[in-house]
Structure 1
Amino acid sequence: MKSYQEALAYIHGRVKSHKDATMKRMQLLMDKLGHPEQQITAIHVAGTNGKGSVVSFLRNLLSEAGLTVGTFTSPFLVRFNERISVDGVPISDDEVVRLVKRVAPIVAEIDAMMPNEGPTEFEVLTAMMFTYFAEGHADVVIVEVGIGGDNDSTNVLYPDVSVITTIGYDHMQFLGNTLSEIAKHKAGIIKPNVPVVIGNIAATPKQVILNQATELSAPIKCLGRDFSVQSRPISGWHEQFDFSDGEINTKGLKMNMMGDFQIDNASVAIEAFVTFMRLHRAPVSAKMIKQGVLNTQWAGRFEKLNDQPLVVIDGAHNLPAIKEMQKNIQNHFSDREIYIILAILADKQYLQMIETLAGLKNVHLILTEFVGPNQRMAADLSTVRAEVKSAHPIEFIANWQEAILTVSNQMGQDDGLIITGSLYFISDVRALFKH
């Protein structure tokens, strides 16, 4: 394996999943690689939505404290290498090749031991990440869960702090159809005596998490109970809020992102940061917190690409995220006409997602399609229009580039355009605008 393209082909050529969700392949991989996961200091982040934002806030907060911070995230927005980064800089193509060369022979051994049940694509990638960070490239690594928690390949980790951001309906084919079932999977990342920080979670699924934490003697901090935020009115593309956890009281925190949910995400990240720093008996200052929050940007999440007319992209890839977008439109953009171009993967609750947006009086909805990754099917939205009640007629334009062009010609200077849905779709759109 000599080239970067060959290394990527090897990774993407692995099976995507097995019917049996089990940790045995990952544990075998770690064992044969000399347990790199035990050689890093880490924070583990699970949750339905908000994981990416919390990781981003945490990275900037830890950087402000003078630490070198590794991150493991998915999916990538522009290039594959983003998934393993140090201080926000993706690893090089050469490193990807080197790591594949290191992991591939071990994967081949396991393939031989377990015919048709060998490591998956995500397990291989996770093994590459642990191998890389075990070499000492970062002081602390923030590891984002792929799907769920208990049987996710990252869950071989024994972190310093565990984080669960939100619980909502997504990936139900793997995690179950109730919030309690989904919460049980996410709570699977909780380890004995390891502190847990959780975000804005409804009472029933929250109780599942609290029970698991109690059973494992894991100290737990909950948003709204142990730490709190107070939003402050502010104009422009910002949010401002106060944070308090009894010991830390920081007023007038400002972020360059929009949405109440981002205030929640920031507060979860602050509490996780403070918990981590206390564990290491390291000082925390108001300046660190203020600067860390202010420095955080999260590409593809309600990201402004143009001012006049306003163009925003948002990877609102499931129903909870679309409901947050609905709130954002009502709170910040009720005074203008908003055009929304939407494309979604077929395995999402796309009818409810469309209904949520279609009911807004100032929203004009345009449905489109895109080519999903690894042959994952984008939802066919061509017939959905007739099934949904909407304030304005819903359009369908199969080609998403044509949809953007059509809407650009329809809208006025004071109107807004939001392009949303699958993160894979947003990645394609962002590449077009940033080209």
Structure 2
Amino acid sequence: MTEIKTVTDALNFIHGRTKFKKIPTLKRMRAFLQALGNPQKGLTYLHVTGTNGKGSVVAMTRQMLMGQGLTVGTFTSPFITKFNERIELNGQPISDADLVKYTQRVAKVVDQLDQTLPTGGPTEFEIDTAIMFSYFADVRPDVVILEVGIGGLYDSTNVIEDPVATAIVTVGYDHMRILGNTLAAIAQQKAGIIKEGRPMVVGQLPAEALQVIQQTAQEKHARLYQAGVEFQVKKSNGHAFRSQINYDGLQLHHFKARLGLGGDYQVANAGVAITLVQLFCQHAGLRIDRQALSQALFETSWPGRLEVMNDEPLVILDGAHNLPGIQALCHTIRDDFADRDVYLLVAILADKQYDLMLGELASLPNVHITVTNFAGPGPKRPSADLGKVVKEIKTRYPMQVADNWQIAFAQMARSISSDDVLLVTGSLYFISDVRHLFD
């Protein structure tokens, strides 16, 4: 029998579980929740997936709904500084005491399922999801925004039956071993969250992916709200790091706001979030307060996503943890920092397309790249040995290889001028490690 008395016990129990099973299924998750009394039922949901940008969309949507006077639960991953961040109420992480309480409740059922299920009991993420549902079933927020872990169709969050609306923010190449090797296959997995008759918001998607999503939406009689069609969002302040946007769509016309989150890709994310908020308010019969909406977008922050840690010199942490993320980061560097020297400290997990990711960064004319490694989230997901590919990649300035990222970061921070930019990127787990230096 699993014994959990402290938050350390709870975290050891959660992180000690298997990460994946060979055959994807929701049957195990449904049996798990049934044994817990189906805590997921009776709550109001928004459901968000995407290769990149889903965390930012959740953060903006939460802030805007809170600005309309609602209590908002969120479930996100991964965490940046502390596990509790994954389950938040109005932006406040679940307390250690509650984490222990709900892990104890869930662990009793896990012990039973370990004995009775032929494929073994729940995975780590399924346990995270069950703790979240159990917690929110008791605290009863007005709305819970669920961020999909991986994909959508077989993601453990996809046991909900009737969300107010769903969203697919982006579709790109990531987790191909699990989701498939084509954009159509990946889109098929993400389209798995579309529910019968429930509206879906889609961001700027490749044609191959959009076609799959449109077909699924048609089959499910789900109305699509598509970026560039049902709603428009544009940046209006040129090369500024934090965008001023103009939004037009649904019942909001000529809506202007300044985004708290930096980077041009947040413009598209904001468009998805604003549309989601309008759909929720329509459903709930709420009148939208434009001023509160604008203020909420300006106040939104999201750890590890083009997060400014220091102003002079500018130090930024950005968890561009896959190829589409790195491409978006490169766009920001080209657009906002073209006239400055950018010093990059990069560490990437070995199961990512690290050679292509590094190649994208190396193509920028104003970057000085130092590659390094870090502990990684566990023995099965190590940091890539980037030193091996450095010689194969052409870059304007020779790439440096650092064995110790802490020493490399300290040296870079000391040596750059006040006009330069120090940007730490790659794995979100790496960003989490670096962020602790600023605690």
TM-score (norm 1): 0.98
Native 8 Å contact 1:250 1:286 kept in 2: no
Q: Distance in 1 between matches of 2:129 and 2:219?
A: 28
Name 1:398's counterpart in structure 2.
403
The one of 65, 70, 75 equivalent to 2:68 is 65
The answer as to whether partners of 1:314 and 1:418 remain within 8 angstroms in 2 is yes
Number of the residue aligned with 2:233: 229
Picking from 76, 79, 84, the partner of 1:76 is 79
- Partner amino acid for 1:163? A
* Equivalent residue for 1:49, pick from 24, 48, 52: 52
Instruction: Please identify, of 288-297 and 390-399, the stretch whose mean Cα deviation from structure 2 is larger.
Output: 288-297
Aligned residue type for 2:293: I
CA–CA distance in structure 2, aligned partners of residues 345 and 24 of structure 1: 31
**Partner AA of 2:102 in structure 1:** L
Match of 2:152 in 1: 149
Match of 1:263, SS state, is helix
Instruction: State the alpha-carbon separation in 1 of the partners of residues 307 and 139 from structure 2.
Output: 33
Deviation at 1:260, TM superposition (A): 2.1
What SS does the aligned partner of 1:134 have? helix
Distance 1:246 1:53 in 2: 21
Match of 1:296 among 276, 300, 324: 300
CA distance 1:182–1:235, change in 2 (3 Å) = closer
Match of 1:348 in 2: 352
What are the superposed Cα offsets for residues 70-120 of structure 1, whole Å, 9 maximum, x if unpaired? 000000011111111000000111101110111111111211111442100
* Counterpart-to-counterpart distance in 2, 1:339 and 1:260: 20
Is residue 104 from structure 1 mapped to residue 107 from structure 2 by the alignment? yes
Unaligned runs of 5+ in 2: none
Distance in 2 (CA, whole Å) between partners of 1:156 and 1:236 is 41
Return the alpha-carbon distance in structure 2 between the equivalents of residues 162 and 257 of structure 1. Answer: 22
Match of 1:352, SS state, is helix
Equivalent residues in 2 for 1:182-331, closer than 5 Å: 182-233=186-237, 237-331=241-335
Q: For the structure 1 residues 213 and 403, does the alpha-carbon distance in structure 2 shift closer, same or farther, using more than 3 Å as the test?
A: same
In 2, the alpha carbon distance for the partners of 1:114 and 1:256 equals 47
Q: Which moves more between the two structures, 246-255 or 186-195?
A: 246-255
What does 1:402-417 correspond to in 2, within 5 Å?
A: 402-417=407-422
Deviation at 1:251, TM superposition (A): 3.2
Identity of aligned residues (%): 46
Q: Displacement, 1:246?
A: 4.5
Residue 261 of structure 2 aligns to a residue in which SS?
coil
1:129 aligns with 2:132: yes
- Deviation string 1:301-326 (CA, Å, 9 cap, x unpaired) is 11111122111110110110111111
Mapped contact 2:43–2:137 kept (Cα < 8 A): yes
Q: Verify the 8 A CA contact 2:376 2:383 in the aligned structure 1.
A: yes
Task: Give the aligned partner of residue 380 of structure 1.
Answer: 385
Q: Give the Å deviation of 1:413.
A: 2.1
Provide the alpha-carbon RMSD of the alignment.
1.2
- The SS at the match of 1:36 is coil
**Alignment partner of 1:421 out of 422, 426, 435:** 426
TM-score, normalised via structure 2 length: 0.97
Cα deviations by residue, 1:271-329 (Å, 9 ceiling, x for unpaired): 00101111122111321321221111111111111122111110110110111111111
Distance 1:360 1:353 in 2: 12
Residue from 18, 28, 33 that aligns with 1:30: 33
Whole-Å separation in 2 of the counterparts to 1:405 and 1:290: 38
Secondary structure of 2:372's aligned partner: strand
Cα displacement string for residues 114-161 of structure 1 (whole angstroms, at most 9, x for unaligned residues): 144210011011011111111134111001100000000000012111
Tell me the secondary structure at the aligned position of residue 369 of structure 1. coil
Name the count of aligned residue pairs. 434
**The 10-residue stretch of structure 1 (234-243 or 120-129) with the greater mean CA deviation from structure 2:** 234-243
Q: What amino acid is the match of 1:420?
A: T
For the 8 Å contact 1:43–1:161, the answer to whether it is kept is yes
| Structure 1 position 335 matched with structure 2 position 343 | no
Displacement after TM superposition at 1:235 (Å) = 6.7
Distance in structure 2 (CA, Å) of the matches to 1:195 and 1:36: 24
Q: Aligned to 2:41, what secondary structure does the other structure show?
A: helix
In the aligned structure 1, how far is the partner of 2:377 from the partner of 2:250?
46
Is 1:430 paired with 2:435?
yes
Q: Structure 1 residues 290, 386: CA separation in 2 closer, same or farther (over 3 Å shift)?
A: same
CA distance in 2, matches of 1:30, 1:48: 27
Unaligned 5+ runs, structure 1: none
Residue 199 of structure 1, CA deviation: 0.6
Question: Which amino acid letter does the alignment assign opposite residue 392 of structure 1?
Answer: Y
CA distance in 2, matches of 1:247, 1:39: 28
Alignment partners' CA distance in 2, 1:238 and 1:300: 15
1:361 shift after superposition: 0.9
Residue 110 of structure 1 aligns with an amino acid whose one-letter code is: L
Runs of 4+ in 1 over 3 A off after TM superposition: 234-237
